[in-house]
Structure 1
């Protein structure tokens, strides 16, 4: 084969051709590349790259799928409907469905309605506002319509003007609080504001939107009041009994004593086994501290004579009761001119005017600038109440609420309450 042919075939990459070509002068020319070997190597590299790329693609796609899926789910959960947020679904029968680790951080800056006017619990909303840390302390309030329950309880928060706010009534039978509203303070104190007891406005609301279940109107009003008081007696650490005026409200006191008797047999934490509470038998006589707050007193009624008269009346009426009604509040701590006695009932007087100030005859050292000072003294003494001891005091806020829901069911199904209702019907029918 001529040298030109060998050079051409070698350059074309024919297998077996010479690795060198010959120039015009007959001398061998230096060949820089073996194109045949190079093309084979490139083909092998492309095959390896394709196979390796497929493996890498398989490995790289899977993690993207795993990592992106939770992001999509979080975006969907982050945009619930505003209606569901403001009015979460209520449930009384399944409070245990919500797992604590799935809840959002507790919200202590707003009012949460935990029970509506038809006695349905809003479990989801309540559990979002409560914590899973050990310990709980509950302050509830009861009273008739217009007594000032919400105003007094608002003073126990860090923002009294914007806590349990009161709007002007649109008609005489209106009541401001429906069901039970809850507020958790910065100190993790649970405040419970309840709808009025012994109230005709609650009865009117039920007649308009609900049913009395065949119970006469007067009996229904008293029965629902007993349900509310029994519930607070079972779940609270301190209860403020707010009445209007300087004189003790005997109707409220009698209803309170009756509710205490009917509460017998209701366990403190019905969902928790006794061994976890460190008990061998259930404690049926656990009582909260009862504090009587006489609100809207005139300046002339803020005197020792009126105070002593109320103390004597409370002692005579409550002496045969198992309620805890003395030893927590001392009115003399707020107004030193009043007699100090540790055996006196938990009685506190509040003036009608918010800008209350003592008479000029009172010594300057005893003067208070406004009603804020009285409410601050009341708040500090209530918050100083003794907490539950042992394992009972370690129950978390969320567990307390779950047990509270069960407690209300037990109250509605109580045999003592059913017998009491039958007795009232027999008396009414003659």
Structure 2
């Protein structure tokens, strides 16, 4: 379980690593109570709060994945500590199924507090009407329980496909080792790579699908399990491969990684927008439709109650354990090496070539 890293009592003689000066949230949270309540009020407090904010990166630019599909950690690293008692929870799913809403609940966001913005942006009706998405790449946040939350851009999303497609149909993003790909194929591989990364660096991965009849996310995670080979957890990552090197055959790659035990985060499959379904399996949860009046009419349980149960389960679960003790900061640094291994994996490359030659990918 995640825990606090700092000591609250002054009587404790042994010093502990200090927690970050603020918890990661949206700018509205940073400029309000959390800082002022800690350092006092008045002109001096305002000056110190401004000094703290000037030393921290902009919260609107904390995305771990850049437009070039590279993992950048310099902006997020200042929010992490040498604490080793933490948990990493990622989420993946198609657009509009409530991923950010679920992550806000796990974070502990209280929407009833005036002036408090959600740590993860929620898809508005205007954005939805424009057929766009609001989460780009991977957006990280840290809860007070030292849970690192990773919200991801939607998979199999027409808006993501539209953003990466050139007029000639090719992809603007080099998904694997600089190989030119069609936008449709690159779009599908992006979803697979996101799944592989989350399965490699998280303790728990929430897999969200739209209803019990939506099998797309089940199939995606089966593909992730198939292609995720030789990638350990972030406490003992394999060396990343140079993108311009000849890695060789899949057999050589397996020999390189044979000493590394495969790691897989614990998946929790969540069906959103379900009616009259009882989710008893601890790895299969259902969330009903959100009625405008939040009534339970025609539903097994209310939307809010289902979210609370999901949050309680995630907080109480340990999930898959890393093989060695690792700090928050080292976890992030090692995740970069894992991401480079994902992008240069010959197994994923061969899978991409098979899809390209067969034409069996989403169009």
Same fold (TM over 0.5): yes
Query: Relative to structure 1, is the Cα distance of residues 409 and 251 closer, same or farther in structure 2, using a 3 angstrom cutoff?
Result: same
In structure 2, the partner of 1:302 is: 276
Deviations 1:199-224 (A, max 9, x none): 22112112269346521222111111
Deviations 1:32-60 (A, max 9, x none): xxxxxxxxxxxxxxxxxxxxxxxxxxxxx
Is residue 270–residue 406 contact of structure 1 (8 Å, CA) maintained in 2? no
Query: Relative to structure 1, is the Cα distance of residues 249 and 350 closer, same or farther in structure 2, using a 3 angstrom cutoff?
Result: same
In structure 1, the partner of 2:200 is: 234
Q: 1:86 offset after TM fit, Å?
A: 2.4
In structure 1, the partner of 2:217 is: 252
Aligned partner of residue 406 in structure 1, secondary structure: helix
For 2:269, which of 257, 270, 292 is the aligned residue?
Answer: 292
Aligned partner of residue 178 in structure 1, secondary structure: coil
Matched, 1:283 2:283: no
Larger helix fraction of residues: 1
Q: How does 1:357-372 map to 2 (within 5 A)?
A: 357-359=295-297, 370-372=302-304
Matched, 1:118 2:68: yes
In structure 2, the partner of 1:145 is: 95
Deviations 1:165-216 (A, max 9, x none): 2243175331110010011000001111000111221121122693465212
Is residue 88–residue 202 contact of structure 2 (8 Å, CA) maintained in 1? yes
Q: CA RMSD in A?
A: 3.4
In structure 1, the partner of 2:352 is: 421
In structure 1, the partner of 2:77 is: 127
For 1:163, which of 119, 143, 146 is the aligned residue?
Answer: 119
- Which structure has more relative contact order (CA 8 Å, sep 6+)? It is 2
TM-score under structure 1 length normalisation: 0.57
Query: Relative to structure 1, is the Cα distance of residues 127 and 345 closer, same or farther in structure 2, using a 3 angstrom cutoff?
Result: closer
Q: 1:408 offset after TM fit, Å?
A: 0.5
In structure 1, the partner of 2:15 is: none
In structure 2, the partner of 1:35 is: none
Is residue 62–residue 140 contact of structure 2 (8 Å, CA) maintained in 1? yes
Q: Give the number of the structure whose alpha-carbon radius of gyration is greater.
A: 1
Query: Relative to structure 1, is the Cα distance of residues 399 and 354 closer, same or farther in structure 2, using a 3 angstrom cutoff?
Result: farther
TM-score under structure 2 length normalisation: 0.67
Q: How does 1:7-26 map to 2 (within 5 A)?
A: none
For 1:218, which of 157, 167, 184 is the aligned residue?
Answer: 184
For 1:174, which of 104, 109, 132 is the aligned residue?
Answer: 132
Q: 1:388 offset after TM fit, Å?
A: 5.4
